[in-house]
Structure 1
Amino acid sequence: MTSATSTAAKSAARTTHGAAGATARLVRTELTLIRRDPLTLTFVFVFPVVTMLIIGGSFGTTPTPGFDNVDPSHWYVASYLTVIIAATGLITVPVHLASYRERGVLRRFAAAGFPRWSFALAELVVGLFPIAVGSAILLAVAAPVYGVPHLHQPGRVLAAFALGSVAFIAIGVLLGSLLPSARAAQATGLILFFPSFLIGSGGPPPNVMGSAIRAVSGYLPLTRVTDAVRDPWLGIGSATTSLIVVALLAAFAAVAAIRRTAL
């Protein structure tokens, strides 16, 4: 009995080690492919930085009521980190995944014996990598130009940033798993991204928007993520409601994405 138990334990350990190794190879391959994607380089690494420099300098550096009495340039530095999250989740991830489905790559992964959960994990890493790099680039560029605003509540900011990243990556996985082609994913992602960007994060502050636009903005996931990151960062407020909404969105979207992409 002891010998049989030991043999079974060794077999399970080999299976676990093999699954972990296969998943690690998949993650490395995915990271290599995403670095070669010009769409990622443009929408995640370039677009937010250039737009932040232009918009951030348009309103000066004097705190005004329209920006909750904080430096407008700091308002946009904090806001544009979530633009990177949205660009990754709505454009990069869906196009990447839809192109795989279009070419039958997912079927090959399944036939090769990758663990069912491996692809979902790989897509999470693939999404988090450009978000982390893009955010570092944006802050490095902003620092000598506008300065990086002081973190008033770093714990809440990091929690909101992490949960928002998971939520949008999961949304991107869902889009990529539902849309029939990479071209369809790109078109849909752009249609979703630009309105969200303009009224949910990177456009004018809510205080100067019309009431109808402000009402629509309140229902956008990107608005909630932006509020949950920016408000505690700049000391405007805790944004507890937005943080809870983002956490729930991340949980539901992640579960749905894992189910859709199980090999």
Structure 2
Amino acid sequence: MSMLAKLTWIELKLLLREPFAVIFTFVFPLVTLVVISGSFSIEDADADFRGAAPWDYYLASYIGVVIGAVGMIALPVHLAAYAERGILRRFRASSIPTWSVLVAQVIVGFLMMVIGSVVLVIASRLIYGADLPGQPLGALVGFMVGALAFLALGLLIAMITRNARAAQAIGMILFFPFFLLSGAGPPPDVMSSGMRSVSDVIPLTFAVRALQDPWIGEGQNGISLALLAAMAVIATAATFWIAGKKT
């Protein structure tokens, strides 16, 4: 097994032992999805839910929430804790390059997103009979681009914070407004015009739309994909720039 594979396996086990990461990646999205989907019936499949069954609408939305939770909370808090405790310095001292640790963290973050999403799909299909994506390839593209964007954001948050508490505070401040206004809370069509305007510029909204549009058969959302790709590039560039300043 290569060094990167070993690191990835170790990091996955460590992250799965962190209650904070597990709660926000798996428990919170699952419980909230089950509750909010059960609050509506098939008769509610109107314009507010873009003509889709509420559980189909929210299933795609909450996969976006899983992506956001890993990128804004689980990954940056874990990495910031490493920096705070000097673990990254110890890796460097033991001839393990920092890049391999960061790549392992990104792989682990992506695996957490995949696992969390699979849990939501299985639960929603078993409980509500939710449909699989109408356009699977489009949904997969939306998932991949959204995941890359929020993993890049997670690395950036970890880079600009000095400790796990600061990373956690920033992550929570970002996560809950993003969660409520991205389409995972009230549908955008029932929001006030002011809230809808805010929703339209929130990065998690782009991830939700990139997933939701192909999921309910509305085609690929090119604008959301482009904005997510730009976010990934900008966040990655900023991370490398800050890392260069620190070394």
> TM-score range, shorter-chain basis?
over 0.9
Instruction: Tell me the alpha carbon deviations over residues 62-94 of structure 1, each in whole angstroms, 9 at most, x when there is no partner.
Output: 221111111112100111101101111111011
Please report how far the alpha carbon of residue 260 of structure 1 lies from its aligned counterpart in structure 2 after TM superposition. 4.9
Q: Please, which moves more after superposition, 147-156 or 100-109?
A: 147-156
Structure 1: unaligned runs, 5 residues or longer: 1-19
Q: Distance in 2 between matches of 1:258 and 1:154?
A: 34
Q: Using the alignment, how far apart are the partners of 1:132 and 1:69 within structure 2?
A: 27
CA deviation after TM superposition for structure 1 residue 42, in Å:
0.6
Which residue number in structure 1 is paired with residue 23 of structure 2? 42
Offset at residue 25 of structure 1 (A) = 2.5
Which of 155, 175, 179 in structure 1 is aligned with 2:137?
155
CA apart distance, 1:170: 1.3
**Rounded Cα–Cα distance in structure 1 between residues aligned with 2:103 and 2:239:** 10
In the alignment, structure 1 residue 90 sits paired with structure 2 residue 72? yes
The residue aligned with 2:119 is: 137
Aligned with 1:52 (options 11, 15, 33): 33
Task: Tell me which of 118, 127, 143 is aligned to 2:100.
Answer: 118
Aligned in 2, Cα 1:150/1:30: closer, same or farther, shift over 3 Å?
closer
Please give the alpha-carbon distance, in whole angstroms, between the structure 2 residues aligned to 1:257 and 1:161.
Answer: 22
**SS of 1:117 mapped into structure 2:** helix
Q: What is the CA distance between 1:149 and its match in structure 2? A: 1.9
Task: Give the corresponding residue for 1:25.
Answer: 6
Classify 1:143/1:158 alpha carbon distance in 2 versus 1 (closer, same or farther; 3 Å).
same
> In terms of mean alpha carbon deviation, does 111-120 or 152-161 score higher?
111-120
4+ runs of 1 displaced by more than 6 Å? none
Aligned-residue offset at 1:50: 0.4
SS in 2 for 1:196: helix
Pair 1:258–1:124, CA change in 2 (3 A): farther
Cα distance in 2 for residues equivalent to 1:155 and 1:261: 35
Question: How far 1:107 moved relative to its partner?
Answer: 0.9
Q: Give, in whole Å, the separation in 1 of the partners of 2:38 and 2:232.
A: 33
Structure 2-normalised TM-score? 0.92
In structure 1, which of residues 156, 161, 164 is the aligned counterpart of residue 146 of structure 2? Answer: 164
Q: Structure 2 regions of 5+ residues with no counterpart?
A: none
User: What is the CA-CA distance between 1:185 and the residue it aligns to?
Assistant: 1.2
Q: Tell me how far 1:152 sits from its aligned partner.
A: 2.2
**Over aligned residues, Cα RMSD in angstroms?**
1.8
Please give the residue correspondences for 1:107-256 in structure 2 after superposition, counting only pairs within 5 Å: 107-256=89-238
What is the CA distance between 1:257 and its match in structure 2?
3.5
- How far the C-alpha of 1:60 sits from its partner, in A, is 1.7
Task: Indicate the structure (1 or 2) with the bigger Cα radius of gyration.
Answer: 1
Q: Judging changes above 3 Å, is the alpha-carbon distance between structure 1 residues 192 and 56 closer, same or farther for their aligned structure 2 residues? A: same
Q: Name the residue aligned to 2:48.
A: 66
Per-residue deviation, 1:116: 4.5
Amino acid in the other structure paired with 1:139:
V
Which amino acid counterpart does residue 71 of structure 2 have in structure 1? G
SS at 2:42 equivalent: coil
Within 2, Cα distance between the matches of 1:167 and 1:224?
10
Cα-to-partner distance string for 1:111-160 (whole Å, 9 max, x where unaligned): 22223421221111120121111111111111121223242222221011
